[in-house]
Each structure stands twice: as C-alpha cells, then as structure tokens.
Amino acid sequence: MRHHRQDVVARALVVLDDYGLADLTMRRLGTELGVQPSALYHHFANKQALLAAVADEILSRGARPLPDAGWEEQARASCHALRDACLAWRDGAEVVATARAFGLGGRAPYDELVGVLTGGDVDGELAATVARTLLHYVLGHAMDEQLQRQAGSAGALHAGAANPLAHDHTADVTTGVDLVLTGLRARVAGTSSTP
C-alpha cells in the first residue's frame, strides 16, 4: 500500500470531513491509510505542512473562474467562492484561516482579490488592506458558522444564555462584503471625510 503525497492529502480531506479538525491526527490518518504514522513524515515535514496542503486542496477544489464583470462584482464573486469552498468541508474555514495565518498556504484568494482590486481603480496599498479586510471577514464569519453547526449537532457548548450568533448567514455575509466595498467605492471616489 504505497502512497503518493496527493493520496495523503485526499485522504486527509476525507478524515477532516468525517471527524473534524480536532480528530485529524497523524495517527488516525496513518491508520486510515493502512500505514504507520511515521510514514507520513516521508511526505510532509510536519503536521502544519500537511494542513497547509489540505488548505490549498480545499481552495483549488472550490476554485471558480471570475465572472466577466466589473471589479466590484468580481470582488464579491471572489469572496463568495472562498466562502463556499470553505463551507464545503467540515472545519474548512478554520483549516484555511490557520494555514493563512502561519503563512504556509491559502494564498490564492488573497492574490486573486488583490488582482481584481488593482485591476480596478484601487491603489496597490489600499488594495492590499481591502483584500485583508475582506478575507478576515469572510473566513472569520465562515468559522463562526461552522462552529455553530457542530455546536448544534453535538449537545456541546454552554446551555442557558441565548446564542447571539443565530442568524441568516448568507445574507449576513453579503451585507458585510457590500459594506466594505461601499466604503471602498466612497474612498476611491474621493468622498473620504477623515484625512
């Protein structure tokens, strides 16, 4: 039962979806592949590198071509594609956000967004800030969403105290993204009032 790097990533994705990130251990993944845990270190330097590869796989599997439209519409589409890609796998948002945070993977959405924004009228430095703002929002929101999902399925999390996160998530994300883009539009048009 010899495996390639890609087999390991693909199986890790299945384990992630079935058991969640907390139970995606090197030992369990090894067992799932019919292999000793130590064998995984032939393919990846450590668990963090494995997870970065999983993050990139999540993103590439969920990749969509940008619509043939203005940059604002493209930015919106890019954000929604990222969200959908993450939500397609259990704990997908957390995996992508963590890999991004450690600078080990998940760069594609950032690059795409910066490209879209600079393709518009947006200055390079502002584009970088806006891209980060959007990514933090979309990923943070998707994480909230997925955590609630598992909090609902398990009886976990503190009972009592009304959950302030109960919401229509799709509408919420659209509003949040539009808010940032509206702010950007105002700023690009020179409407900014605070110097």
Partner DNA sequence: ACCTGAACACCGTTCAAGT
- Positions that interact with DNA (CB under 7 A): 1-5, 23, 25-28, 30, 33-39, 41-43, 45-48
46 binds its own copies (CB under 8 A): no
Query: Alpha-carbon distance 149 to 134, whole Å?
Result: 22
Give, as ranges, the residues between 61 and 120 that touch its own copies (CB under 8 A). 97, 101-104, 107, 110
Which is it for the CA torsion 29, 30, 31, 33, positive or negative? positive
Q: Which is nearer to its own copies, 2 or 158 (CB)?
A: 158
C-alpha closest to that of 111 among 76, 78, 72? 78
Concatenate the DSSP letters of all residues of 124-158 into one string. HHHHHHHHHHHHHHHHHHHHHHHHHHHHHHSS-S-
Show Cβ contacts of residue 39 under 8 Å, excluding neighbours closer than 6 positions: 30, 33
Among positions 18, 23, 84, 172, the unique one binding its own copies when judged by CB under 8 A = 172
Q: Which is nearer to its own copies, 7 or 23 (CB)?
A: 23
Can you give the binding site for its own copies, defined by CB under 8 A? 97, 101-104, 107, 110, 126, 128-130, 132-133, 135-137, 139-141, 143-144, 147, 151, 157-158, 163-165, 167, 172, 175-176, 178-187, 191-192, 194
